[in-house]
Amino acid sequence: MLYSLGAAYMAKFQAYAYEHELGQAIVVYEEAVQLTPDKAERAQYLFALASALESRSEMTGNISDIETTITLLSEALELIPKDQPERYQYVHKLGHVYHSCFDHTHDLSHIEKCILTFQEAVELCGVHNIDASVDVSHLGDAYRHRFLLLGEIADLKYAVELLEKAKQLCSQHDHDRPTVLMRLGTAYAALFEQERNVRDLHKTIETFKEVIALMPAEHLDRSPLLNNLGAAYLALFIETEDTQYMDLAIETYKVSLSLLPEGHSNRRGQLSNLGNVYSTRFMHQHELSDNDAAIAHIKLAVDLTPEGHSFLPVALANLGNAYLRRYVFANDQAAETQSLQQAVSYFRQAACCGCGTSSVRLLASFRWADQAKRSKTLEHECIDGYNHFFTLLPEVVWLGKTVAQQHKDIAIWNEVAPQAAAAAIRLGKYSKAIEWLEQGRSVTWNQLLQLRSPYDDLANAYPLLSDELKSVSQQLEMLGHDREHEHAAHHHDALEEISQLHRKLAARRDAVVKEIRTLPSFENFLQLKPFRELLEAAKESPIVLLVAHQDGCHADALILIPNHDSVIHMHLEDLSIKELQGMQKSMLGYMGGHSQRSGLSDAERAAKMIPTGGVPMYSLHDVLSKLWTKLVSPILKKLSSTFPVRKAKTHLWWCVTGVLSFLPLHAAGDYSITEPGHKISDYVVSSYTPTLTALIKARQKVVEAAPTILAICETHAKGYPTLPGVIEEQKAIEDLAVKAQVYSCYLQDSEGTKTNVLDKLPTASWLHMACHGVQDSENPLNSAFILHDGTLQLSQIIQQNLGQADFAFLSACQTAAGDLKLSDQAVHLAAGMLFAGFRTVIATMWSIKDEDGPEVARDVYAHLLDSKDSTQAGYALHKAVQNLRKKYTGTKDEDLLAWVPFIHIGC
């Protein structure tokens, strides 16, 4: 009786859209649920009530109705056996509601539950012979939305695959075909944004046009379709600059908006989109009326967006962009000032929203800081903006993503750390500059280090929380490594299960850490170190942090020295950013020209340095000379005024950013002058560290007093040049180890298999790799050493228990060469070994001559085995290179190429 009454109210609502009838239906269904304990009937009433609440939420946008609907449907599914055909409609409905909930919250858990629910719906379609096209379409759209949240391109490509499948399942006259095609067109539009293939954009437009032709002119569902078509026209205008597409975009958006009744929840998004088109046209045609229209439309969108809705930061950021464009083209000082103030204000509001995606708020934070720098009256705000940016960065470059995806994300923001530091330096905030450099560099490595952090204080105070955090962190690290290699080994559904588990573990770890930070004395638990704690890195020796960003004309040096709480600042006014960029291009040529350890002659090695395409290039001697006269020598003079620099006894660490990451500061000097005093090695021993935290952690690690050596020597790797010198290299180490009574193990050629190396690695504290190596800048964990039976990847090394790891000598190919687009992320094998657990690493910026490997190794190990102290590695390499220089006394590139590439990283 109650069910029939409720159905009658719903029928009247669906016919006339009377909100009163919908309310009455909800009241009746609620009473029916309360009065019905019987499982079968109760499930039916729960479904009816959930459907009515869903309809109300679609009208009002009320999130509480959606959440209640999820609860009701979840309870109903508990009452229906999995083999019952009627289960399908409940699962289908729940998947749809999860998607609606995600639209409001942009909470990852909602879209992941949506995916799992529609996966079950598709399976039930197969079991009960139900048309699966709609559910396959829903599933594809859910993957597209997760792509928009996480940015993983595999999700988007799978979405296109599913939606193409759904299209094939739909007949030409299927009433669901328009929805399927609309989703497919939207997915192709997203694919175009990623890969910039205009073919995908034309597919988008063709698909949307096909759907529009299937719908009545006044159909409400035409509105979102026209909205998406307008976006495609706008993208085509931006790609081609053909104004007809701009006009089509505006007209299409207007028609789309006209189809929505006042109060419809989609109006806010479409108003904002139309405003963005006007703003884009203003940028091209400079008609102020377009900018006025843009601001008016987007302001209305902001007004229509409730507090806490995920769209709010998007609308606020769009409004900030509109005011920023007005600022750029302002005709008078007053309008310029007012427009910039408004832009900064809206970017700040967007950034500080407690809702929406982290990526939207991160971009807003950057623009807040970046634009505040433009005005003297606002520049103090850039400090707050950058602080907010670096707080949000770990949420975007998240542990729940694959390392490859993390690096793809951080590549977008690679230059922000030196840019922020340069801004702080201009404001005299030197300690803040150092904090930001630390927070924005080597982000992925730092997060991996956090997974391995000891929790001694926490374990003593809260052992249960400590155990849980340790367990979750270990699982997260293991699963993260697995996901890097999952695609070849698993079916897509299995991949989905692994990926969701990975993200759930990351979310759980975030929750545990958040809980710990509420406890007394643990407020800053696992937070990035403040300046006062970073000073520990310079406890024993000075550190020079170098900042170079195109926002400034010249580089800056920030110097930390022992027993000083303040930062010494130097503006390197004689060294321009343009000059540094020229040197960087030259050094990248050296690295690219020598990617493999080889037996080439000096002349052949130098010849490989001739750039192609007529690119102007400094000689290596010019680079070293300029670095000496314009950077290193002035810094040493400044340093000597406050810290005693004893000839070749003082150990100095370099921490570099941006273009400076590729320059051999450790070899700076004017080698045309033979007498002492004109090169860095006459004054200090040079080492590098990717971050201050990495150096602090390396020094804190306790290792066994007596080292054990594992040496891997591969002479004939398949597909690579032979390395006869590594046999002599191994013999030299073996003789020295015997003399020093140090245990050593040698795996040469066929003995040096991946299995044997991984078996021996946890027992060794010193590791010597004499072989070829390859670097994967897209995913540093896939960088590898070439062994007898294949590649030993860094990810495989990291997974080992390397509690004994101390010193690594990477006598391989360009093991310390970075990647230009990730210049501040230390994406090379040497840094990877440091973060894998080794305290100190010797590596090369480009390949070395095969005949020189044994000489350098002999001198390094002679020094180290005498003291059995790996912290002497920097001094040992310093002496070894000085000896090698006696062999190459010239100043031509063929001589300098031999000894310059050797560097030391770590403590």
Give the DSSP per-residue string, 375-408: -TTTTTHHHHHHHHHHHHHHHHS-TTS-HHHHHH
Residue 685 — φ and ψ, nearest 5°?
A: -95, 130
pLDDT at residue 13 is higher than 50 = yes
3-state secondary structure 66-103: HHHHHHHHHHHHHCCCCCCCCHHHHHHHHHHHHHHHHH
Per mean pLDDT, which range of 70-79, 163-172, 456-465 is the poorest? 456-465
pLDDT of residue 820: 57
Q: How far apart are CA 359 and CA 405, in angstroms?
A: 14
Output the six-digit token pair for 351.
């950034």
pLDDT in tens, 363-379: 999 999 999 988 888 98
Tell me which long-range contacts 504-509 makes (C-beta under 8 A, separation of at least 24). Answer: 505/400, 505/472, 505/475, 505/476, 505/479, 506/398, 506/399, 506/400, 506/476, 507/108, 507/109, 507/400, 508/472, 509/399, 509/469, 509/472, 509/473, 509/476
pLDDT of residue 488: 44
pLDDT at residue 4 is higher than 90 = no
Which residues lie below 8 Å from residue 542, measured CB to CB, with a gap of 6+? Answer: 559, 560, 561, 562, 639, 643, 650, 652, 653
Better pLDDT: 713 or 490: 713
What integer is the mean pLDDT of 610-635?
79
Output the six-digit token pair for 646.
């004893």
pLDDT at residue 74 is higher than 80 = yes
pLDDT at residue 150 is higher than 80 = yes
* C-alpha closest to that of 768 among 682, 710, 825: 710
pLDDT-derived band at 864 (thresholds 50, 70, 90) equals very high
pLDDT-derived band at 630 (thresholds 50, 70, 90) equals very high
pLDDT at residue 612 is higher than 60 = no
Per mean pLDDT, which range of 254-263, 596-605, 758-767 is the poorest? 596-605
- Give me the amino acid identity at 653: W
pLDDT-derived band at 485 (thresholds 50, 70, 90) equals low
Q: What is the CA radius of gyration of the chain?
A: 31
pLDDT-derived band at 592 (thresholds 50, 70, 90) equals low
Burial of 175 (0-12, 13-18, 19+ CB in 10 A): exposed
* Sole residue written with tokens 């030391």: 904
Q: What percent of the chain has pLDDT over 70?
A: 92
pLDDT at residue 506 is higher than 70 = yes
Q: Are strands 568-576 and 554-560 parallel, antiparallel or unpaired?
A: antiparallel
pLDDT-derived band at 526 (thresholds 50, 70, 90) equals confident
Beta bridge partners of 841: 808, 905
Output the six-digit token pair for 380.
């103090």
Better pLDDT: 826 or 661: 661
pLDDT of residue 427: 92
pLDDT-derived band at 415 (thresholds 50, 70, 90) equals confident
pLDDT at residue 491 is higher than 80 = no
pLDDT at residue 817 is higher than 70 = no
pLDDT-derived band at 552 (thresholds 50, 70, 90) equals low
Q: How far apart are CA 560 and CA 451, in angstroms?
A: 28
Helix (H) or strand (E) run with residue 767 in it: strand 766-770
pLDDT in tens, 288-309: 999 999 999 999 999 999 888 8
Per mean pLDDT, which range of 128-142, 309-323, 443-457, 465-479 is the poorest? 443-457
Q: Tell me how crowded residue 649 is: count the other CB atoms within 10 A of its CB.
A: 11
What integer is the mean pLDDT of 218-245?
89
pLDDT at residue 818 is higher than 60 = no
pLDDT in tens, 559-590: 999 988 899 999 998 888 888 888 888 877 66
What integer is the mean pLDDT of 60-75?
87
pLDDT-derived band at 81 (thresholds 50, 70, 90) equals confident
pLDDT of residue 827: 65
Which of the residue ranges 208-222, 402-416, 751-765, 782-796 has the most confident prediction, judged by mean pLDDT?
751-765
pLDDT at residue 613 is higher than 50 = no
What integer is the mean pLDDT of 835-843?
90
pLDDT-derived band at 211 (thresholds 50, 70, 90) equals confident
Per mean pLDDT, which range of 120-134, 262-276, 313-327, 594-608 is the poorest? 594-608
Q: What percent of the chain has pLDDT over 90?
A: 48
* Edge-to-edge strand ranges of the sheet holding 554-560: 568-576, 554-560, 543-547, 650-656, 684-688, 902-906, 840-844, 807-811, 766-770, 709-713, 744-748
What integer is the mean pLDDT of 615-633?
86
pLDDT-derived band at 489 (thresholds 50, 70, 90) equals very low
pLDDT of residue 461: 87
